[in-house]
Amino acid sequence: MRNSLLLIALSIFTTSCFSHRGLDRKSDYTVNSFSNDKINGLYQNLIPGDDRNSLWQDLYKNKSHKDLIFNAERTQVELILMSKKRLKANLYRKGRLEDSIELKGKIRNGYFVINRRVSTFPLPIFFLYAENKTILGNDDLGNLILVQGQNNQFLIMFALSGGDSEVISARYTRL
C-alpha cells in the first residue's frame, strides 16, 4: 500500500503542467501590452476555415473538461473585464444573449491568464490527471489572441500509462 501511494505521489509531481510564459513562447502570434480597453469588445466566434473550434468552446473548457458541441454560425462573443481578476464572456446568437460565463484569472505579462482548470482522480487502480490553461491578449489590430494548453494523463494498475498534451493558438477577429 505504501509503494502504491508513493507511485501516485510521484506521478502527480512529475506531471507536466503549463505556465503562462511557456504558452506565450509556443504562441504563433505576438501580443501587445495588456490594456483594459483593448480586451473589452465583441469578437467573431468562428475561426475562418475551422468549423470544429470556436472562441466560446475554448473559453468553456476553462469551466468544464467536457466538450461543448454547438453550432457557432452567426455567433459572437463579447468579453468584459469586470476587475483585474474577473473576465465575463457573453455569447450572442443573431444579436441575442444566449449564454454567459465568468472566468477568474490575473493580468500577467501582457495577457489575461485564466486560472488553471485541473481535475485529478487518484484511485488505487486508476489515476487520471487533466489540465487546461488559457491566456488571452490582443494583437496590433485589436484582434483577440488565445493560447491554450491541454494535458491529459492516466495510469492504470501501475503498469499501463498514457496521455496527450497540446498547445493551440488562435486569432479571433474583433468586430
User: Using one digit for the tens of pLDDT, what is the confidence trace for 138-169?
Assistant: 988 889 989 888 888 877 876 777 778 888 88
SS3 content of the chain, % helix, strand, coil (to 5): 15, 55, 30
List beta partners, residue 83: 86
Which range marks the domain in which residue 147 is found? 2-172
What the block records as the C-alpha cell of 165 is: 498534451
pTM value? 0.79
Q: How many domains does the chain have?
A: 1
Q: Phi/psi of residue 10, each to 5°?
A: -65, -40
